[in-house]
Amino acid sequence: MFVPLHDANRLKHIDLQYVTLAIIVANVTVYLLVNLGLPENALIATVVSLGYTPAVVNDFAELPPELVWIPEELSLISYSFLHGDFWHLGSNMLFLWVFGDNVEDAMGHVRFALFYALCAVAGALAHGLIDPASQAPLIGASGAVSGVIGAYLLLHPRVRVWILALGRIPLPLPAWIPLGFWIVLQFYMIAAMPEDQVSWAAHIGGLLAGLALIVVLRRRGVPLLDRQVQTPRAVEVDTRAPPGPPRHGPWGRG
């Protein structure tokens, strides 16, 4: 796999991606309060109460009354703010940090918030479609973040993104290469490992929702599949300064 590090895709319509930042802050805050601030029995109760359990939502099972903290339909969104461990949280938030700002820029703040929530719902529904009677709670922002990845790919396939390939090799690649590989991997994994602990179906559900929603929720005039190649700042050449005689430091020339 790969780790996204940076893109040079500047914001065009907004000054700050504050919905993306607010989602990251909310996820980190919930993680600190739940995973580090609660004893194990309370942690389990929180996951059961706020996670998305297909059997409960589809009326195959019921939660004990003391664990019914919210209407069961709200778990279609609340599950996306819970994470199993630091790496689960960190990987989701890193992808959201790198790619979420430009998707928010393409939609606007309110539409992006709606988009993110709908992708989370789509991820949960896709997970439940695979096993409607499952009593294992689904947690994690992967479904919603997968929607962000799909939208970014449809908006900016040619933007060069710095990634860390194989955990150690930094590479600047057009977005369609690593993100396209990531998408293919999701479909491969759901076919090869349908019983895996990772819900590949939730990834695919969020991804498909993101691809569809960006078409209708983007700002008027924002193109899909833009043709402008943007290069990460690390390899940019500043052409603003006109050529001139070489400048020397105060130490003079030897």
pLDDT profile of the chain (254 residues), mean per 10: 84 94 97 90 92 93 91 94 94 96 96 98 95 93 97 95 84 92 92 82 96 96 76 49 45 38
Q: What is the pLDDT of residues 160-192, one digit of tens each?
A: 999 888 777 888 999 999 999 999 999 999 888
Supply the pLDDT for residue 192. Answer: 84
Supply the pLDDT for residue 195. Answer: 75
CATH 1.20.1540.10 correct for 2-231: yes
Supply the pLDDT for residue 99. Answer: 96
Domain ranges across the chain:
2-231
Supply the pLDDT for residue 240. Answer: 53
Neighbours of 203 (CB within 10 A): 28
198 vs 243: CA distance, rounded Å: 55
Supply the pLDDT for residue 112. Answer: 98
Helices (H), 136-222: 142-155, 176-192, 200-217
Q: Which of 249, 238, 248, 223 is nearest to 102 (CA)?
A: 223
Supply the pLDDT for residue 197. Answer: 79
Supply the pLDDT for residue 196. Answer: 78
Given strand 169-174, what is the order of strands in its sheet?
2-7, 160-165, 169-174
Quote the tokens at residue 102: 């430009």
Supply the pLDDT for residue 219. Answer: 94
